[in-house]
């Protein structure tokens, strides 16, 4: 794979997924959640005990507070990967409905070396595609109606390869755990869920683009597909629905404000 002019990495590259960094980063987020919320719960419990003049059990307040937070974090992390597509109204796609799409997906799965995901159509006219986890080892590929109507075969091949690479690397499963924590905290802290396309999100997107091109060996198709998404008048940003908002950064074309394609297209043109 040609060396990129900028160093992009999502917990490792396509060929060598960095599990250690992924685990450390995910544990850090959950540990921060346990420490902050545990301290809040412990303080509340201790104040209740003081209010009722129960001073002999103040030490247990910290145990109860941090213990409860740890249980919540463990439950959220364990269940995270099963909630990947909640909030989306999807229709199953089969070989009879979209033979070209299904054949492309099956062929790319054999090339990349992963199990064939279930494919779903999202009945929206925006041009978009994304891979999401529905279990600790399973994934689904979600394609909008707009993408089915707009993409050529080569463009579809490029974008499907992109999403399958993210699945193979394990990225979508770690994203699911981060997303689950965002979903839990978003009602209390709106800043937890990104509204704009940050540099970190852009670097993650570029890494996915380069991973897809690594297998198709045809960056022109990827560039063409991204340009269509960039020019799409029906592209959307996040809505009021919380479940849809936490999915916003993880589409091929993020549903975020300022979701520009400039850096991605520049990188692909130097591939």
SS3 of 60-117: HHHHHHHHHHHHHHHHHHHHHHHHCCCCCCEEECCCCCCHHHHHHHHHHHHHHCCCCC
DSSP state of 41: H
What CA–CA distances, in Å, run from 165 to 111, 128, 263?
Answer: 11, 17, 20
Q: How confident is the model at residue 4 (pLDDT cuts 50, 70, 90)?
A: very low
Superfamily name and number for 83-269: Metalloproteases ("zincins"), catalytic domain (3.30.2010.10)
* Cβ-contact 138, 173 below 8 angstroms: no
Q: What is the pLDDT of residue 30?
A: 92
Mean pLDDT of the chain: 83
pLDDT in tens, 118-173: 999 999 999 999 999 887 778 999 999 999 999 999 999 999 999 999 888 888 88
Q: What is the pLDDT of residue 107?
A: 95
Distance CA 75, CA 52 (A): 31
For the chain, the straight-line distance linking the first and the last C-alpha, in angstroms and rounded, comes to: 9
Indicate the domain borders of the chain. 19-80, 83-269
Which residues are paired to 257 by β-bridges? 196
pLDDT of 18 over the 70 cut: no
pLDDT in tens, 57-72: 767 888 899 999 999 9
């Amino acid at each position: 794979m040609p060396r990129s002019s900028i160093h992009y990495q999502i917990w490792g590259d396509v060929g060598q997924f960095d599990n250690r960094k992924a685990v450390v980063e995910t544990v850090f987020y959950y540990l921060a959640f346990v420490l902050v919320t545990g301290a809040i719960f412990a303080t509340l419990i201790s104040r209740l005990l003081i209010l009722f003049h129960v001073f002999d059990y103040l030490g247990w307040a910290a145990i109860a507070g941090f213990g409860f937070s740890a249980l919540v974090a463990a439950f959220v992390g364990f269940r995270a990967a099963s909630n990947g597509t909640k909030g989306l109204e999807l229709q199953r796609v089969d070989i009879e409905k979209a033979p070209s799409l299904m054949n492309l997906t099956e062929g790319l799965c054999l090339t990349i070396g992963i199990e064939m995901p279930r494919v779903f159509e999202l009945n929206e006219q925006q041009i978009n595609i994304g891979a999401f986890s529905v279990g600790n080892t399973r994934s689904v590929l979600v394609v909008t109606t707009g993408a089915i109507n707009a993409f050529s075969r080569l463009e579809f091949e490029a974008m499907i390869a992109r999403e399958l690479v993210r699945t193979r690397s394990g990225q979508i499963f770690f994203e699911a755990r981060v997303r689950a924590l965002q979903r839990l905290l978003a009602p209390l802290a709106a800043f937890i869920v990104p509204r704009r396309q940050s540099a970190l999100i852009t670097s993650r997107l570029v890494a996915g683009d380069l991973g897809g091109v690594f297998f198709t060996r045809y960056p022109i198709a990827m560039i063409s597909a991204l340009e269509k998404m960039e020019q799409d008048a029906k592209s959307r940003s996040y809505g009021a629905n919380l479940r849809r908002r936490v999915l916003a950064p993880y589409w091929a074309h993020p549903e975020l404000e300022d979701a520009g394609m400039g850096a991605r297209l520049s990188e692909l043109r130097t591939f």
